[in-house]
Amino acid sequence: MTVANGDASTLGDSDGLSIAYVGGGSRQWAPALVRDLALADLDGDVRLYDVNVESAERNAEFGNWVQDRDEAVADWSYEATDDLDEALSGADAVIVSTQFDPTETFVPDLDVPKEYGIYGAVAATIGPGGIFRAMRTIPLYREFAAAIREHCPEAWVFNYTNPVTFVTRALYDEFPEINAIGLCHEVLGTRHRLAEYASEHLGMDASREDVSVNVKGINHFTWVDEARCEGVDLWPLLEELAEGEEARREFTAEDLEGESVFTDNWQVTWELFRRFGVLPAAGDRHLVEYATWFIQGGQETLDRWGVKRTGSDYRAKHWTPAESKQTTDVEAWMSGDREFALEPSNETFVDVLGALTGDGPFVTNVNLPNEGQVEDLQSGAVVETNAVVRENEVKPLAAGGFPRPVRSLVRGHVDVQETVVEASRTGDVDAAFEGFLLDQQVRTLSPEDARELFAELVVAEEAYLDGWDLDASDVLAESSAYPTE
């Protein structure tokens, strides 16, 4: 399959590229983009759109501040706008990276299911919390896709918003001709880990770029069945390591005390590799939400597998820059209160964009509708594989299929995603609930408890469920948790 954007000469012009950033007030992604672009062999302008225009203005100021530094080699200009149409008009590339207030969304995503015994580790891409994140995000992204169709239909669209699979699928469902790809760094992290193993055990001086893997699956539930480092087959090493002491560790809550929620001990990864013969290529904190054996039993089970749960307290603090170590404080950099170093991030956006303009080819993992690149999965469903990026072309690479047990697991999650996206076309809440019932975490509940959990999440997040016809829902009307007149 090839996703192509018309005549290759249309991507950018003599004045450089024009990028629209939807969600340009971002506290993490936008500052990372600014730094990457300043070090790129590309020039142009970036229009930062956000409903919180003050945040976009702050990032625009930061972007222009970075451009004035001696280390900046590229020529970019930044401006903020609260007008989506203005931001998109004539754009060559569109970045979409948004989220709602975590204190009003992520917190109930984590806390309400916990009352029903569901201990999602992240609650961002699958499970009750992930499905509700999809339900509040998809209608907005249908609007974005419609606006792109009107103002820049040939633009390349890069989706970083979770849940990546749901959101990217919704963009195509609304605008089938859109040139959209979903990007995620989980596979990059796996390649980095494999490079470390090659260096430590094979005496190689390896980096992530030296490792190639055959990727297939869905975002945050991807799998690898081939791995090489500078041509050396890593599979015998992985099979040896999987039987070693480091791959069979058990943890307690005390062992994890003080650890970051992003700590990845790879114990879930090794267990799945031993059982199924293929290597998961996402962090353990994501894998446990798709392979749900590892969250049965709640916090104690998560602890045993070395997974640090993302608690609602972390989500709430992350929204407050003064309390968050992850949030980038660009004002502190610009004021001199924090030392600034112009260094690249570990993201691949600039590499992909450069390859699209002719500086390729470049191979990386992407999320695109399935047209045969992953065997045994539904056509049109968004899947994650490697792709070759060339001038104005993204061509997914055929990755093959799965062992039967893995295929069964992945198909079940695809069915959840497709059911919810289809329901969003008309805002049919009861049809979305059917997808909710299919989820592996929800299937641990009785039908009545599943309904009440669904209704409680609706009540908690109703202000963010635009586009869903709540009043017409029989499921909500049957629930004691949902108030009716």
Q: Using CA atoms, how far apart are residues 224 and 242, in angstroms rounded to an integer?
A: 15
| Strand ranges (E), 140-238 | 156-159, 179-182, 211-218, 221-229, 232-233
**Beta bridge pairs of residue 232:** 229
Tens digit of pLDDT at every position of the chain (485 positions): 455 444 433 565 557 999 999 999 998 899 999 999 999 999 999 999 999 999 999 999 999 999 999 999 999 999 999 999 999 999 999 999 998 888 899 999 999 999 999 999 999 899 999 999 999 999 999 999 999 999 999 999 999 999 999 999 999 999 999 999 999 999 999 999 999 999 999 999 999 999 999 999 999 999 999 999 999 999 999 999 999 999 999 999 999 999 998 999 999 999 999 999 999 999 999 999 999 999 999 999 999 999 999 887 777 765 554 444 445 789 999 999 999 999 999 899 999 999 999 998 999 999 999 999 999 999 999 999 999 999 999 999 999 999 999 999 999 999 999 999 999 999 999 999 999 999 999 999 999 999 999 999 999 999 999 999 999 999 999 999 998 76
Cα torsion angle, 432, 437, 438, 439, sign: positive
Residue tagged active-site, from 185, 192, 286, 318:
185
Is residue 185 part of the annotated active site? The answer reads yes
pTM, two decimals, is 0.94
**Beta bridge pairs of residue 276:** none
User: Within 13 Å, how many C-alpha atoms sit on residue 122's CB side?
Assistant: 25
Task: Give the relative orientation of helices 404-424 and 429-438 as an angle to the nearest 10 degrees.
Answer: 170
- The identity of residue 411, as a single letter, is R
pLDDT confidence of residue 322 = 47
**Contact present, 130 and 123 (Cβ < 8 Å):** yes
pLDDT confidence of residue 40 = 96
**Domains, in order of start, for the chain:** 3-101+125-184+330-396 (3.90.1820.10)
pLDDT confidence of residue 2 = 53
Provide DSSP, 83-109: -HHHHHTT-SEEEE-----GGGTHHHH
Per DSSP, the three-state class of 465 is coil
